[in-house]
A = this chain, B = another copy of it.
Amino acid sequence: MATVKYVLNEDQMPTAWYNVAADMPSLPPPPLHPGTGQPLGPADLAPLFPMALIMQEVSTERAIEIPEEVQQIYRQWRPTPLYRARRLEQALDTPAKIYYKYEGVSPAGSHKPNTAIAQAYYNKQEGVKRLVTETGAGQWGSSLALAGAMFGLEIEVYMVKVSYNQKPYRRALMEAYGARVVASPSTETAAGRAILAEHPDSTGSLGIAISEAVEMAVQREDTKYALGSVLNHVLLHQTVIGLECLTQMEMAGDYPDVIVGCTGGGSNFSGIAFPFIGAKLRGERDVRVVAVEPAACPSLTKGKLAYDYGDTAHLAPMVRMHTLGSTFVPPGIHAGGLRYHGMAPLVSHLTELGEIQPIATQQLETFAAGLQFARAEGILPAPEANHAVAGAIREALRCKEAGKSEVILFNLCGHGHFDLQAYTDYQAGKLKDYEYSEEEVAMALAGLPSVG
């Protein structure tokens, strides 16, 4: 019983990204200025992003052309393979067919370069010399570092201090690509210094690191900011994943009944799901879409859909999203890429519209799923991706119970070769589950701004 792989030729690679905004019955409300609370126009975003990305952020065109230079870099690892997980199906003894798209073949080991390469390209085109960003566990930072090397841009990464100290290997990868990595909070920014003055031992958070990166970007003429998830243009770039899947599922002679992805900020999930959701919104094919988030950071399942700040120092725009509050600090689960207090506005809006069904899984379930997957399919998933694996296994077992031969498609967004400490801890019985009480969530949400 072997795994079956569906490989596209390079000439079958998408030449345009898919913009789900074109097919949505309504759009999410606009981002607001963090100081004034007024809707933001393109000019307000210009200090942060190049105009091409700002235009993508507000575009309602269905197809947005992928520049040839971006396609050339994509082709180093794209199109990525789609697999039929026959050995996992056998292990689960399920009548369901399980397919997975594998994004871990990129040089950074995850889906993040899909947008890092595009963002670096547009910045380079507009004469930007330097990009500043934040990173938690390091997947995004190393992808932007890679993109910087490809396009000759300087990259500065504010890395959450606890990860900077605990994950020196991610930092080493960024530095190998030539990036400068700074532990956040740092003394380099006013935001960082303010935090350190109050909490000298602060281990940092994504919210603080975003504040520092934004501050450093707007100060310098030749410098812009880059974000690895949440925003519309970031999700747009990730749709190459789902667009390839559409062709590959056709090769396989199947169409997914259910699509499963893990959600932190929402980018890998949107990448695989949006092209299929679009087909549904256009009335072409039905599909059920499941977003799996960690129970330790349950923005979609326990958060509130409201305007909130994207960062701690309130320098970044406010967006309407499912949020646990910009001061929420989730426990140190190993799926670092899913530890964001908010959610992409497009994902939140589609959830509100009933197009996405969110669920939360506990850490122990996801690691058990990841190990079962690795022993069946050979690939060790990243802890983030284990959430998608766990969701797919739940669906496959539901099919088994119901005697249904449904088609399940999930996104294996990265490999776990950088995350072996997590597996060591799991196998040593050191990991714990987390459950929030209604009171804790209410307390976290109490600080939401009163706008929108």
Closest 7 CB pairs of A and B: A2-B72, A169-B420, A172-B420, A107-B378, A172-B424, A149-B375, A417-B417
Nearest B-chain residue to A68, judged by Cβ = B2
Residue contact A7 to B10, C-beta cutoff 8 Å: yes
Q: How far is the CB of A409 from chain B (nearest CB, A)?
A: 18
Residue contact A380 to B427, C-beta cutoff 8 Å: no
Contact partner of A76 among B169, B378, B421, CB < 8 A?
Answer: B378
Total copies of this chain within the assembly: 2
Residue contact B378 to A423, C-beta cutoff 8 Å: no
Residue contact A10 to B5, C-beta cutoff 8 Å: yes
- Please report the C-alpha to C-alpha distance between residue A45 and residue B421 in the assembled complex, in whole angstroms: 39
Q: Could you say which residues of chain B place their CB within 8 Å of the CB of A7?
A: 7, 9-10
Q: Would you give the 0/1 interface string for A4-17, flagging 1 where the beta carbon is closer than 8 Å to chain B?
A: 01010110000000
With A10-B7, A177-B375, A378-B146 as contacts: A172 and B109 at CB distance below 8 Å: no
Contact partner of A107 among B76, B172, B380, CB < 8 A?
Answer: B380
Is A75's beta carbon under 8 Å from chain B?
yes
Is A173's beta carbon under 8 Å from chain B?
yes
Q: How far is the CB of A274 from chain B (nearest CB, A)?
A: 26
Is A176's beta carbon under 8 Å from chain B?
yes
- Please report the C-alpha to C-alpha distance between residue A120 and residue B5 in the assembled complex, in whole angstroms: 22
A interface secondary structure, majority? helix
Q: Could you say which residues of chain B place their CB within 8 Å of the CB of A417?
A: 109, 173, 415, 417-418
Q: How far is the CB of A431 from chain B (nearest CB, A)?
A: 13
Can you spell out 26 A-B residue pairs with CB atoms less than 8 angstroms apart? A2-B73, A3-B76, A5-B76, A7-B7, A7-B9, A73-B378, A76-B83, A105-B105, A107-B378, A107-B379, A149-B374, A149-B376, A149-B378, A168-B420, A168-B424, A169-B424, A170-B420, A171-B424, A172-B420, A172-B424, A173-B417, A176-B380, A176-B416, A177-B374, A417-B417, A417-B418
- Please report the C-alpha to C-alpha distance between residue A421 and residue B371 in the assembled complex, in whole angstroms: 25
Q: Which of A69, A72, A149, A378 has the most CB atoms of chain B within a 10 A radius of its CB?
A: A378
Nearest B-chain residue to A375, judged by Cβ = B149
- Please report the C-alpha to C-alpha distance between residue A375 and residue B83 in the assembled complex, in whole angstroms: 30
Is A178's beta carbon under 8 Å from chain B?
yes
- Please report the C-alpha to C-alpha distance between residue A375 and residue B155 in the assembled complex, in whole angstroms: 13
Q: Would you give the 0/1 interface string for A147-173, flagging 1 where the beta carbon is closer than 8 Å to chain B?
A: 001100000000000000000111111
Residue contact A172 to B421, C-beta cutoff 8 Å: yes
Within 8 A of B (CB), among A60-90: 69, 72-73, 75-76, 83, 87
Q: Which of A76, A107, A150, A173 has the most CB atoms of chain B within a 10 A radius of its CB?
A: A76
With A169-B420, A380-B107, A420-B169 as contacts: A374 and B5 at CB distance below 8 Å: no
Q: How far is the CB of A364 from chain B (nearest CB, A)?
A: 15
Within 8 A of B (CB), among A87-107: 87, 105, 107
Residue contact B2 to A173, C-beta cutoff 8 Å: no
